[in-house]
Amino acid sequence: MHSYTRIRHSLNKQASVTNGGLFCKVLAAFLVSALLLAIFASADAVPVFPLTFTLLAINGVLSIYGQLEAIRALSPLHYISFLFCYLFMSLMPILQIGYKIDPVFNFHEVVLLTSVAGLIFTLFGFVSIRDLKNKVPVIRELVTHETASAEERPNYILLAGLVLAFSLATALIFHRSLFTSRDAFGYAVAGAFGDKTTGGALAGFLMQTPFFGAAMGLRTSLLKRDKFWIATFSVLLLVSLVINNPLITSRFKLAGLIFFFVDYFFRGKRIKLLIGVLVLGISLAPMFQIFRYEGTTYRDTTYGDKYISTDYDAFQMICYTFLTVDRNGVSWGSNLVGAVLFWVPRSMWREKPEPSSFEIYYTAHRYKEVGTNNLSVPLMIEGYYAFSWVGLCLISMVYWWGITRLYLRSLRSSDSLVFVLRCVVTGVVLIVLRGPLVIGSTALIGNFAAALLAWRVFREWKPRLVRGTRKLGLSRMGRLARAVPQGLES
C-alpha cells in the first residue's frame, strides 16, 4: 500500500505540472472576465435581485472550477456538464434578468428558487469532480502508455457493407426530404414511422449507424495502415456526413456527432481539441437556425437578443416549471416514466404521459407568446417536476455519479464497448442536460444502439492493454495496475 501511495503522489505531482499550464490559465481568465462583464452589464438589476445574483455568481465560480478540473482529469463528460452549468445556470441568466427579456422574472421568489435549483445541481458536480480529482492521476499513466491492439482480421468488409446498406436505406426512405429543412424532415420521419418520438429514435439509429461505423473503421485502418480501407472508410465517412447534413440535423445532434468523433478517434486524449470544437459550435450555432424552416434567411438566425433568450431558455423554463408545479402539483414520476418508455406506441398506451415540455408550454403561454412546445426542460427540473426537491436532488446525484463511474470504467481500454458508450454519452450530454428528458432518452438510446451494432459487427474480440516499460518498468507497472482498482473503488 505504501508503494501505491508513493506512485499516486508522484503521478499527482506530474499531472499538476503537465495538465495545468497556460491553457487552463487563459481559459479561467476568459470565463471569469465573461462572468464579471455579464454582472456589470446587468448592474441595474443587482439591487432588485441581490440574493439571486449572488447565487448565480457562486454557481459560475464553481462551474469554472469544475471545467478546469475536468480538463486536468481529461474528462469530456464532466467538462461539458460544467460548461452547461456555467452557460445555462449562471452567465446567460445574469444577462437575461438584467435585460428583463421574460415576464417570468417579475416573480422574484420563483427566480430565486430557480437559481437555488441550478446551484444544487452544480454542487453535486463539485463533489463529483473533487472525488474524481483524487482518482484519475493514478490511471492516467496507464492511459498514456496504452497502445491500441487491433485484431488480426478486422471485419472490414462486413462493417463497410453495414455502413453502405444503412446509407442506402436512409437515402431510399428519405430521398424527398434529405435536403429540405429540419421541420420538413421531422414531418417525413413522423410519416415514415408513425410516432414522432419513436420515429426520432429510429431515424437516429438508421442515420447514425453509418457515421459510427465509418469512424470505427477509419480509426482501426489508420492504426493498421491499410491504405485501401483508409480510403474506403474516408469516403464512407463523407457519405454519412451527407446523410446527417445540417439542413435536416439539429444543431445539438450535429454537435454530438462531432464530439463523439473527436473523443473516439483520438482515444479520449484530446480534450483541448474538443473544447475548441465546442467553442466554435457555440459561436456558429445561431446561424444554423436558418435551416429550421424552408424559406428562412439570415434574419432568422438567433444572433443578438434571441441568442440569450431562445438558445439559452433553460433558466426561464425552470421558472415556468416552478409555476406549473405550483398550479398543478408534481407529476409523481409520470414524466420520467413517459420519457424512459418513449418507445411504447401511443396506440398501445392511450394514457401515455405527454412530454414535460408540453405542460411547461401551457403555463408559459399564459404569460407570453412562446411559439413552440419544443422547450428546454433541464434534467434537474425534470426531477423537481416528478418529486419536488427530493426528485431534483436524486436525479442530480444519479447523473453526476453515473458519468463519473462511466468515465472511470472507460479508462481501462479505448477499444472497449464501455469506451464507445462513453463517447456516445459525450455526444448527447448537452441534449440530456438541456432537455426535455424524452428528447435526451431518444438521442441516447438511438445513438448507442447504432454504435453498438457497428461495434459488434466490426469486432468481437477483447482488447488487451499493452503496458509501457520504459518509464516504470514491468514490475512497477504491474503493481500500479493492481493498485488502480483499489484507488478507483475507494
CA distance 126 to 70: 11
Element (H, E) at 280: helix 271-284
483 lies in some domain: yes
Which structural domain, as residue segments, surrounds residue 480? 2-146+467-489
Residue 388 confidence (pLDDT) = 92
How many folded domains does the chain comprise?
1
Grid coordinates of 256: 454530438
Instruction: DSSP letter for 117, please.
Output: H
Residue 37 lies in a domain: yes
At residue 358, the pLDDT reads 86
For residue 84, tell me if it sits in a domain: yes
DSSP states of 33-45 as a string?
Answer: HHHHHHHHHTGGG
313 contacts 375 by C-beta, under 8 angstroms = yes
What is the number of other CB atoms lying within 10 angstroms of the CB of residue 329?
Answer: 10
The pLDDT value recorded for residue 350 is 79
Look at residue 307 and tell me if it is in a domain: no
Segment 291-342, tens digit of pLDDT: 554 555 444 444 455 556 567 889 999 999 999 999 989 999 898 998 888 8
Q: Residue 414 and residue 460: Cα distance in Å, rounded?
A: 15
Rounded-to-integer distance, Cα 258 and Cα 284, Å:
14
pLDDT for 486: 44
Omega prior to 436 cis, within 30 of 0: yes
Question: Largest alpha-carbon pair distance within the chain?
Answer: 69
- Residue 245, number of CB atoms within 10 A of its CB: 13
Task: Write down the H helix ranges in 134-195.
Answer: 136-145, 156-173, 182-193
Say whether 120 sits in a helix, a strand or coil: helix
Q: How far apart are CA 301 and CA 298, in angstroms?
A: 6
> Is 235 in contact with 168 (CB distance < 8 Å)?
no
* Angstrom distance (rounded) from CA 311 to CA 307: 6
Helix (H) or strand (E) holding 207: helix 196-224
Is residue 137 included in any domain, yes or no? yes
Residue 121 lies in a domain: yes
pTM, full prediction: 0.85
Check residue 472 and report its DSSP letter. S
Ranges of residues in the chain whose predicted pLDDT is under 50? 1-18, 150-151, 293, 297-303, 461-487, 489-490
Q: Is residue 289 part of a domain?
A: no
pLDDT in tens, 109-166: 999 999 999 999 999 999 999 888 777 666 556 555 555 554 455 688 889 999 999 9
Residue 129 lies in a domain: yes
Alpha helices by DSSP H, 291-378: 305-309, 314-328, 334-340, 356-364
